[in-house]
Amino acid sequence: MITIPQNSLIAMLVILCLLVIGSISRLFIEKKNPEKDYTELRQRIQSWWWMIGILFACMSIGETYAIILFGFISFLALKEFFSIVPTRQSDRRVIFWAYLSIPLQYYFVSIEWYGMFIIFIPIYIFLFLPMRMVLIGETKGFIHAAGIMHWAVMLTVFCLSHIAYLLVLPEKNPEAGSMGLVIFLIFMTQFNDVSQYIWGKALGKHKIIPKVSPNKTWEGFLGGMLTITLIAALIGPFLTPLSISLSLLAGLLINISGFIGDVVISSIKRDLEIKDSGDLIPGHGGILDRFDSLIFTAPLFFHYLHYIAY
C-alpha cells in the first residue's frame, strides 16, 4: 500500500486545488471576454495539470520512479539544448558520452552515493569530454565546442539531478518525508516566477536588465522577494526540517537564484535569436523554458539544506 506523508499529501491537495481554481477562473474569463483569444492560457493550465499529475504520481508510487522521471527530464533538456545550440559535426560522437552521463549520474542518486554524485560530472565528465574530442583530432572551434559540451551537461544533468537527490536524503521531517523537500523546492520556484510576473505587471516601472529581459522590473523582483520569503517562512517548517527563520532564508535564496536562472536562459535564447527553446510543452515552450529557474534553484537550495540540516 502506498503511504504518502501527511504534510506532503496536504501540500499535494492544496496544489491540486489551486489548479482547479485556475481552471475555473480561466473558464470564467473566457466566458466574460469571448472576443479575446485565451488559447495560450488554456494550454498553460492544461500543461500544468499534466506536469503536476505525472510528478505526483511518480513520487507517490515510489522514489525510484521519481528518480527515473527526473532522469528523463534531464535527457529531454540535454537533447533540447543540443538542438538549439550549434555544434560541430565532429562532436556527434562526443555528444553520445554526454548523454551517457545521465543514467550514470542518476544511478549514483539511486544508490545514495553522495561522494560520486557530487564529483562525477564536475570532475570526471569535465575531464573526459575534451579528451574524447582530442582523439577525434578536430582542433578548429575546440574551445567553443568544449564550453558548449560542459555547460550543457552541467545545466541539464548535474543541476537538475539535485532535485532527485532530495528524494533520497534521510527524513528529518517524518510528517513531510523526502517528497516534501521536492514539493517545497518546485512549488516555491514556480510560484516565485508567478509572483514576480504579477508584481511586475501591477507595479513594474523600473527595468532591471532591459537588453536581456525587458519585462523584468525592480518592482516585480522585490515584490516577488517579499512574497516568496513570507510564504517560505510559513510552509518551510511544514515541508522541510528548516525552522521559520531558515525557511525565510531558503525563500530568499530561491527568489534570487530563480531570477538568475530565468535571465540566463533568456540570454541564451536572445543570443540564438529564438523565442522559445522548444515546443514540447504547449503554452510554455520547451523544457528549458519551463525549468530555467529550477536549473539554478535546485543545486543552491540542495546545498543550503544539506549544510543546515544534514
Which string of DSSP letters, residue by residue, matches 80-122?
HHHHHS---GGGHHHHHHHHHHHHHHHHHHHTT-HHHHHHIII
* Model pLDDT for residues 245-301, shown as the tens digit of each residue: 999 999 999 999 999 999 999 898 888 888 888 888 887 788 998 899 999 999 999
Residue 1 pLDDT exceeds 60: no
- 190 Cβ neighbours under 8 A, 6+ residues apart: 293
Number of domains in the chain: 1
Which string of DSSP letters, residue by residue, matches 8-53?
HHHHHHHHHHHHHHHHHHHHHHHHH-TTS--HHHHHHHHHHHHHHH
Query: pLDDT confidence of 119, banded at 50, 70, 90?
Result: very high
What the block records as the C-alpha cell of 151 is: 555547460
Distance from the Cα of residue 103 to its chain's centroid: 19
Confidence (pLDDT) at 192: 92
pLDDT, mean of residues 151-170: 96
Q: Are the beta carbons of 144 and 91 closer than 8 angstroms?
A: no
Give the side-chain half-sphere CA count within 13 A for 197. Answer: 8
Residue 40 pLDDT exceeds 60: yes
**Residue burial 165-174, b: 16+ Cβ < 10 Å; e: rest:** bbbbbeebbe
The answer to whether residue 274 sits within a structural domain is no
The answer to whether residue 59 sits within a structural domain is no
Provide the residue range defining the domain that includes 84.
68-168
The answer to whether residue 154 sits within a structural domain is yes
The answer to whether residue 85 sits within a structural domain is yes
The answer to whether residue 91 sits within a structural domain is yes
The answer to whether residue 304 sits within a structural domain is no
Q: How far apart are CA 241 and CA 264, in angstroms?
A: 30
Phi, psi (deg, nearest 5) at residue 138:
-95, 115
Q: What percent of the chain has pLDDT over 70?
A: 99
Confidence (pLDDT) at 204: 81
Task: Mean pLDDT check: name the lowest of 50-64, 154-168, 282-296.
Answer: 282-296
pLDDT, mean of residues 52-64: 92
Residue 173 pLDDT exceeds 70: yes
The answer to whether residue 111 sits within a structural domain is yes
Query: pLDDT confidence of 2, banded at 50, 70, 90?
Result: low
Nearest to 29 by CA among 19, 39, 16: 39
The answer to whether residue 21 sits within a structural domain is no
Query: pLDDT confidence of 30, banded at 50, 70, 90?
Result: confident
What the block records as the C-alpha cell of 76 is: 529531454
Query: pLDDT confidence of 201, banded at 50, 70, 90?
Result: confident
